[in-house]
């Protein structure tokens, strides 16, 4: 009998049918109200460094903590009872709408820009979860709002540092590329001529020695060519002299000759040249992509297309290799000592571009880079 009564009491508490519970104890009956039971949780929510909200189906704010009120720079009494939509742009409202209509029990997250009452904007992450209504028909959505200002500032600082490191790296590459042909290549050529002279002085009677001298001359010639190739890859002078299309042609031809992988290059005419750093970015991304194809893809064909869709220049690199599963190979992870796809994405970001990667196991990989044209070229298109 008591068990049945206990179960009924618990059911009534969960469904909101009772406002208080009386429990007999050593010091007499004690009354626990619903408000008292929630007090610790309310204290916890109010002490959070994140905003907390409960909304109705029509986005009316039933509850907000002080942290959220401080975020949007609005008195708490004016926040509660108002619409959450007032703090979002039209674009963010459109993105948030389907998430609120079909809120997943597992929760979902979205990045938005909150509109504060004073006109300022706050980058924020909203975590959304449907609420168990327990007999209360109004509250439908629970939200935790995280101010991302500091995180965004730190990310921008890291990006600026990474960008500076890339600039220093490119400057050092240019310096080494100039030193190699002027010093190492000249020395190698001098040794090559001396080995040729030595081979010429040896007669047929010096058979083994003459054969070794000839082999040495051939090795020195190959070494000089390799140094020249490395120098060119470190700093592609053809990019400065003849432009992006010519540099891409040289890179794909060298790759095809060295690896035996067939490469088809299609470069559409561009209405204007990109800034030097943007052209270098596309060239480096192609280099890294071809390097990955040569090391991991086991591809037989690669297609490289340079086009100009509207106000963008687009570079697409497709291979028919083994591919990979993007869900288990995030873009930022290094693979087998390679530079990783993260560096390619970061390079595109430095110049205001975007990079997309599509890959399926045993069905190849596609890398698509888009970089905006400079404003002057964009105006000319219009």
Domain match, 356 and 315 both: yes
Q: SS3 for 368?
A: strand
Q: Please tell me which residue, 219 or 286, carries the higher pLDDT value.
A: 286
> Could you tell me if 231 and 339 lie in one domain?
no
| Same domain, residue pair 26 and 148 | yes
DSSP string, 190-237: HHHHHHHHHHHHS-GGGHHHHHHHHHHHHHHHHHHHHHHHHHHHHS-H
CA atoms of 128 and 108, how far apart (whole Å): 5
**C-alpha to C-alpha distances, 130 to 17, 80, 103, 172, nearest whole angstrom:** 21, 19, 6, 54
Give the alpha-carbon dihedral of 255, 354, 345, 264, to 10 degrees: -10
Confidence of residue 32 (pLDDT cuts 50, 70, 90): very low
Distance between CA atoms of 50 and 70, rounded to whole angstroms? 10
Q: How much is the average pLDDT of 147-158?
A: 88
Same domain, 144 and 163: no
pLDDT for position 74:
94
Q: CA Rg, the chain, in Å? A: 33
* Residues belonging to the chain: 382
Residue ending a domain, choose from 174, 203, 235: 235
Of all residues in the chain, the percent with pLDDT exceeding 70 is 80
| Arithmetic mean of pLDDT over the chain | 81
pLDDT tens track for 49-108: 899 998 888 889 988 999 999 999 999 999 999 999 999 999 999 998 888 877 677 778
Are 200 and 216 spatial neighbours (Cβ–Cβ below 8 Å)?
Answer: no
What is the per-residue pLDDT for 216? 85
Same domain, 247 and 230: no
**d(C-alpha 361, C-alpha 364), whole Å:** 7
**The CATH number of the domain where 146 resides is what?**
3.30.450.20
Which tokens go with 282? 């596309």
Confidence bin at 382 (pLDDT 50/70/90): low
Let me know whether 41 and 74 are in one domain: yes
User: Any idea what the CATH number is for the domain that residue 377 is in?
Assistant: 3.30.565.10
Is 243 found in the same domain as 375? yes
Token look-up 């509207």 returns: 310
Listed range (69-73, 101-105, 154-158, 330-334) with the worst mean pLDDT:
330-334
The reported pLDDT for the residue numbered 378 is: 58
298 and 250 part of one domain: yes
Is residue 207 domain-shared with residue 293, that is, in the same domain?
Answer: no
> Are the C-beta atoms of 220 and 195 separated by less than 8 Å?
yes
> Residue for token digits 């400065």?
240
Last residue of a domain, one of 191, 211, 235: 235
pLDDT at 23 > cutoff 80: no
From residue 138, alpha-carbon distances to 36, 58, 61, 89 in Å are 21, 10, 10, 25
- Count of domains in the chain? 3
> Residue 31 above 50 pLDDT?
no
Lookup: tokens for 103: 């809120």
Taking the chain, what is the end-to-end CA distance rounded to the nearest angstrom?
Answer: 83
Listed residues 98, 122, 152: the one ending a domain: 152
Q: Which domain holds residue 227?
A: 153-235
CA–CA separation, 315 vs 355, rounded Å? 9
309 torsion bin: left (phi>0), alpha (psi -120 to 50), beta (else): beta
Pair 159, 133 in one domain: no
| Residue 231 contacts residue 181 (beta carbons within 8 Å) | yes
Percentage of residues in the chain having pLDDT higher than 90? 41
Mean pLDDT, residues 239-243 taken together: 89
Query: Same domain for 222 and 265?
Result: no
Shared domain for 263 and 139, answered yes or no, is no
């Amino acid at each position: 009998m008591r068990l049945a009564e206990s179960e009924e009491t618990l059911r009534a508490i969960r469904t909101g049918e009772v406002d208080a519970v009386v429990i007999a104890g050593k010091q007499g009956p004690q009354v626990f109200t619903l408000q008292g039971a929630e007090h610790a949780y309310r204290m916890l929510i109010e002490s959070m460094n994140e905003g907390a909200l409960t909304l109705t189906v029509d986005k009316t704010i039933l509850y907000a903590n002080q942290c959220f009120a401080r975020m949007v720079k609005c008195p708490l009494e004016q926040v509660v009872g108002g619409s959450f939509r007032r703090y979002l742009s039209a674009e963010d409202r459109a993105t948030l709408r389907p998430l609120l209509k079909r809120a997943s029990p597992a929760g979902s997250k979205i990045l938005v820009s909150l509109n504060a009452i004073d006109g300022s904007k706050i980058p924020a992450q909203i975590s959304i979860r449907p609420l168990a209504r327990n007999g209360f028909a109004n509250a439908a959505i629970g939200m935790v709002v995280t101010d991302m200002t500091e995180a965004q500032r730190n990310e921008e600082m890291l990006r600026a540092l990474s960008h500076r490191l890339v600039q220093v790296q490119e400057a050092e590459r240019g310096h080494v590329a100039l030193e190699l042909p002027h010093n190492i290549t000249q020395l190698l050529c001098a040794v090559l001529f001396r080995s040729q002279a030595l081979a010429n002085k040896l007669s047929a009677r010096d058979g083994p020695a003459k054969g070794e001298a000839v082999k040495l001359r051939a090795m020195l010639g190959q070494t000089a060519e390799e140094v020249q190739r490395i120098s060119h890859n470190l700093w592609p002078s053809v990019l400065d002299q003849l432009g992006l299309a010519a540099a891409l042609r040289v890179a794909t031809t060298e790759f095809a000759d060295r690896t035996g992988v067939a490469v088809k290059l299609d470069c559409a005419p561009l209405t204007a040249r990109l800034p030097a750093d943007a052209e270098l970015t596309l060239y480096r991304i192609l280099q890294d992509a071809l390097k990955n194809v040569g090391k991991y893809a086991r591809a037989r064909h690669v297609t490289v297309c340079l086009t100009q869709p509207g106000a963008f220049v687009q570079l697409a690199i497709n291979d028919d290799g083994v591919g990979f599963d993007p869900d288990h190979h995030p873009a930022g992870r290094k693979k087998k000592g390679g530079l990783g796809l993260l560096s390619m994405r970061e390079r595109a970001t430095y110049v205001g571009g975007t990079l997309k990667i599509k890959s399926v196991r045993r069905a190849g990989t596609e890398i698509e880079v888009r970089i905006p044209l400079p404003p002057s070229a964009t105006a000319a298109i219009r």
